[in-house]
Chain A
Amino acid sequence: MIARRCLWMPPTLFGLLLIVFTVSHVIPSDPARVMAGENASADQVAAIRHQYGLDQPLPRQFLRYVEDVTEGDMGTSLFTQRPVAEDLLARLPATMELALYAMTFAVAAGVPLGVVAALRRNSWLDHVVRVITVAGLAMAAFWLAILLQLLFSMWLGLTPVQGRIDGWGPDPITGFFTIDAVLHGDWETLGQALRHLVLPAMTLALPAVATIVRFTRAGMINVLSSNFVFYQTAMGIPRRRIVWKYLLRAALIGTLTQIGLIFGNLIAGAVVVETVFDWPGLGSFAVNSILHSDYNAIMSFTVFTGVVFILTNLAVDVAQTLLDPRGR
C-alpha cells in the first residue's frame, strides 16, 4: 500500500509540471512578454526569450524544464534576481510552523468540542458549536484575519500587528522559531514568537476546527448507538472512560481520514492569512511575486507548494496505515 503510494509520486509530479508548464508556456501567446512584464522594451523581451530558451520548440522547452526542476533549479526571480528555489526553501519553515500550530490548535479545540456536541445533542451547547462550524467554513480567511488584527492588535494592543518576530529570530536550528528558542533556552524570544503566532494560527485554524468538529461529532453519534457501548455500560465501566477512551478511538477514524485534506487546506489558507499578518512564509512570497508580476516566482511557488502538498499527503497516508491496522 505504502509502496504503491510512493510509486504514484513521480507520475503525479510529472503531471503537475505539465500543468504548470502549460499554464506558463503554452497558454500565453508570448511567454517572454508576460515574463518581462508590461513595461519591458522589445529588446528586453527578446533577451528574456533567448535567455530562457523560449525560442525553442515546446517539447524541448518542457524537457529542459523538467530536468531543471528535478535538479532543484527553479530559475531566478525576475524581481530580486535570486534563485527562487532558495527563497522558497528559506521561507518553508515559517509556513510549516504556522500550519503546525494551526493544526495543533484545530485538533485540541475541535475534537473535544465535537465530542461534547455529540454527547449533548441538540442542547444549547450543540447549537453554539454548530453556529461556530457553519460560520467557520463560510468565512473568508483574510477577512477574519483583518477583524482579529483590528480587535486584538489595533484596538486592544494585546498582540503584535504583523510579522513573525521583532528584529532577528533565534539562530536557526530547525527554522521553527518557537522550537529554536526552546533549544537555545531563550524564553523571551519564545514568548515573543508565540505572541506573533497566536492570531495567524487561530485564523488559519478556524475552518479546520469546523471540519474536525463536524467529523468528530458525526463519528461520535455514529458509535454512541453501537452495541459495545451498551455492553461496556453493562460491564460497569465508568461512562467517562467509555466516552474518552473507547468511543473516541472509534469516532476519530473518520476524522483522521480528513487530516491530510485539512493540512493541505492549511497550506493553501496560509497564502492569504500570511498576507494580512505579513508572515514571512510561502504565501506572502507568492503575493509579493504577484505584486511585482514576478512570473517565474509564481510558477515555481505553484510547483513547490504542489510538491509539499504531495509529500504531506504521502506522510499522512503512511501514518494512517500504521495507525489503522484495517488499512494495511
Chain B
Amino acid sequence: MKRLLRDRSARFGLIIIVVLVLSAIFAGVLAPFPQDVDTYHLPRRLLGPNAVNFFGTDRMGSDIFSRLLFGARLTILIAVVATSAAVLIGVPIGLIAGYYNNRFSDLLMRVSDVFLAVPQIVLAIAIAQTLGPAIHNVILALSITYWPFWARLVYAETRSVRHEVFIEAAVALGASPLRVMVLHVLPSIASSVIVRTTIGLGGTILVAAALGFLGLGPPPPTPEWGRMIAESRAFLPQAWWYAAAPGLAILLVVMGFNLLGDGLRDALDPRLSRGKDGP
C-alpha cells in the first residue's frame, strides 16, 4: 500500500476512483438537481455551462452535471458486476486448465480461444442485441465476452508455478487438488489477477459506454454516459458541452482504473517493469 501511494500516477488514479465511488454513493446529495434524472424542463433546454448548471443542460433541459453523477452509479454497477462475473468464470477455468494437463484442460483453453477470436465489442453487440436493451443484459453480454481474458491469464500463471517446489511439496503431502489450487496456486498468482482486474474494470466501462452509444445500453431516461453522448450528436456543433461532459467523465474514470492498475503492478510485483501492457 505504501509503495502504491509513493507512485504519483497511481495516487492520481486512486483519487479518481475514490471520487467516482463517493459521487456515486452521494449522487442524491451532491447533485444540484437530483430530480433531473427523469424529469424535464423544456424552457431550460440546451443551456451552456453556467453558474447553476456547471456542465450545461441537455435536450430535455435536465442538468447534465446531475445526470453524470447518477450515471456514475450505473457505470460502477455495470463495471463491478460484469467484471466480477468474468473473474468468477474465468479464474476457476484457468486454474483447472492450468493445473491439470489433459484433454479437458486443452478443450477449456480452446473454448476461450474461440471467444477471443472475435473482437469483444462485436460479440457483446450480438449478445446485447439478442437480449434487448437493459442494464442486466449489458452486464451479461460483458461477462460472457470478458471471462476468457482471465482464463488465459490464470492458465498461463498456473502453468508457470505448477511445478514449483512449494506446489509439488503440497501435492506430496497429500493435499487434494482443490486444496492445492485454492490455498497454494491462487495466492501466488493473485497479484496478477488483481492488476488485470483493475485494468479490466476500465476496459469494461469503455465497452459498456460503446454499447450505450450504439443504443444497446439501458433505455432512456437512464443517465448512461455513452447514450448521453449519442443523444448530443443531434445538437452539434452548437451544444458542444453536451457531448464533451460525459466523454470527459468516461476518460477520467477509465484513466483512473488504468493508472491504479499500473501502480498496483509496480507495487505488487516489482519484477514486472512499468510500461508493459496486459493482455
Q: Would A12 and B113 count as touching, CB distance under 8 A?
A: yes
Q: Would B130 and A309 count as touching, CB distance under 8 A?
A: no
Q: Tell whether A143 pairs with B214 under 8 Å between CB atoms, given A134-B259, A138-B251.
A: no
For the complex, is A177 an interface residue (Cβ under 8 Å from B)?
no
Partner of A134, one of B129, B216, B243, B255: B255
For the complex, is B69 an interface residue (Cβ under 8 Å from A)?
no
Q: Would B126 and A306 count as touching, CB distance under 8 A?
A: no
Residue of B123, B215, B216, B229 with most chain A CB atoms under a 10 A cut-off: B123
Number of B interface residues in the complex (CB < 8 A) = 51
CB-CB under 8 A from B226, the residues of chain A are 140, 142
Q: Would B237 and A155 count as touching, CB distance under 8 A?
A: yes
Q: Tell whether A309 pairs with B118 under 8 Å between CB atoms, given A19-B123, A154-B237, A271-B125.
A: yes
Interface set, chain B 99-144, CB cutoff 8 A to A: 110-111, 113-115, 117-123, 125-127, 129-131
For the complex, is A15 an interface residue (Cβ under 8 Å from B)?
yes
For the complex, is B277 an interface residue (Cβ under 8 Å from A)?
yes
CB-CB under 8 A from B215, the residues of chain A are 290-291
A interface majority secondary structure: helix
Q: Would B125 and A290 count as touching, CB distance under 8 A?
A: yes
Partner of A295, one of B129, B236, B258: B129
The answer for the CA separation of A162 and B124 in the assembled complex, in Å, is: 26
CB distance from A134 to the nearest CB of B (A): 6
Interface set, chain B 232-277, CB cutoff 8 A to A: 232-233, 236-237, 240, 243-244, 246-247, 250-252, 254-255, 258-259, 273-277
Interface set, chain A 119-146, CB cutoff 8 A to B: 134-135, 137-144, 146
For the complex, is B202 an interface residue (Cβ under 8 Å from A)?
yes
Partner of A34, one of B111, B130, B209: B130
CB-CB under 8 A from A295, the residues of chain B are 129-130
Q: Would A305 and B243 count as touching, CB distance under 8 A?
A: no
The answer for the CA separation of A272 and B111 in the assembled complex, in Å, is: 27
Q: Would B229 and A142 count as touching, CB distance under 8 A?
A: yes
CB-CB under 8 A from B126, the residues of chain A are 20, 23-24, 298-299, 301-302
CB-CB under 8 A from B40, the residues of chain A are none
Q: Would B114 and A19 count as touching, CB distance under 8 A?
A: yes
CB distance from A281 to the nearest CB of B (A): 13
Q: How many A-B residue pairs have CB under 8 A?
A: 157
Q: Tell whether A302 pairs with B118 under 8 Å between CB atoms, given A135-B251, A140-B251.
A: yes
Residue of A18, A143, A218, A272 with most chain B CB atoms under a 10 A cut-off: A143
CB-CB under 8 A from B252, the residues of chain A are 138
The answer for the CA separation of A305 and B119 in the assembled complex, in Å, is: 8
Q: Would A147 and B244 count as touching, CB distance under 8 A?
A: yes
The answer for the CA separation of A295 and B230 in the assembled complex, in Å, is: 22
The answer for the CA separation of A146 and B119 in the assembled complex, in Å, is: 23
The answer for the CA separation of A144 and B254 in the assembled complex, in Å, is: 14
For the complex, is B210 an interface residue (Cβ under 8 Å from A)?
yes
Q: Would A143 and B251 count as touching, CB distance under 8 A?
A: yes
Q: Would B206 and A290 count as touching, CB distance under 8 A?
A: no
Partner of A11, one of B110, B255, B276: B110
Partner of B250, one of A23, A140, A301: A140
Partner of A264, one of B119, B131, B214: B119
The answer for the CA separation of A103 and B127 in the assembled complex, in Å, is: 28
Q: Tell whether A142 pairs with B213 under 8 Å between CB atoms, given A12-B117, A16-B114, A134-B255.
A: yes
CB distance from A266 to the nearest CB of B (A): 9
CB distance from A30 to the nearest CB of B (A): 12
Q: Would A287 and B276 count as touching, CB distance under 8 A?
A: no
Q: Tell whether A221 pairs with B275 under 8 Å between CB atoms, given A23-B127, A147-B247.
A: yes
Closest to B121 in A: A268
The answer for the CA separation of A276 and B123 in the assembled complex, in Å, is: 20
CB distance from B176 to the nearest CB of A (A): 32
The answer for the CA separation of A169 and B99 in the assembled complex, in Å, is: 56
Q: Would B214 and A287 count as touching, CB distance under 8 A?
A: yes
Stretch at the interface among A39-47, A54-62, A209-217: A209-217
For the complex, is A28 an interface residue (Cβ under 8 Å from B)?
yes
Partner of A23, one of B130, B255, B277: B130
Q: What string of 1s and 0s marks CB contacts (under 8 Å) between A280-322 and chain B?
A: 0000001100110101001101100110011001000000000
Q: Would A150 and B131 count as touching, CB distance under 8 A?
A: no
Chain B residues close to A by CB (< 8 Å): 9, 110-111, 113-115, 117-123, 125-127, 129-131, 202, 206, 209-210, 213-216, 226, 229-230, 232-233, 236-237, 240, 243-244, 246-247, 250-252, 254-255, 258-259, 273-277
Q: Could you pull out 12 A-B pairs where Cβ atoms are within 8 angstroms?
A: A11-B110, A16-B118, A27-B130, A134-B255, A143-B243, A143-B246, A146-B247, A150-B243, A221-B273, A272-B210, A295-B129, A305-B118
Query: Given A28-B130, A140-B247, A146-B232, 13 other A-B contacts at CB below 8 A?
Result: A15-B114, A19-B118, A23-B130, A24-B126, A27-B127, A134-B9, A134-B255, A137-B254, A147-B247, A271-B125, A271-B214, A290-B129, A309-B117
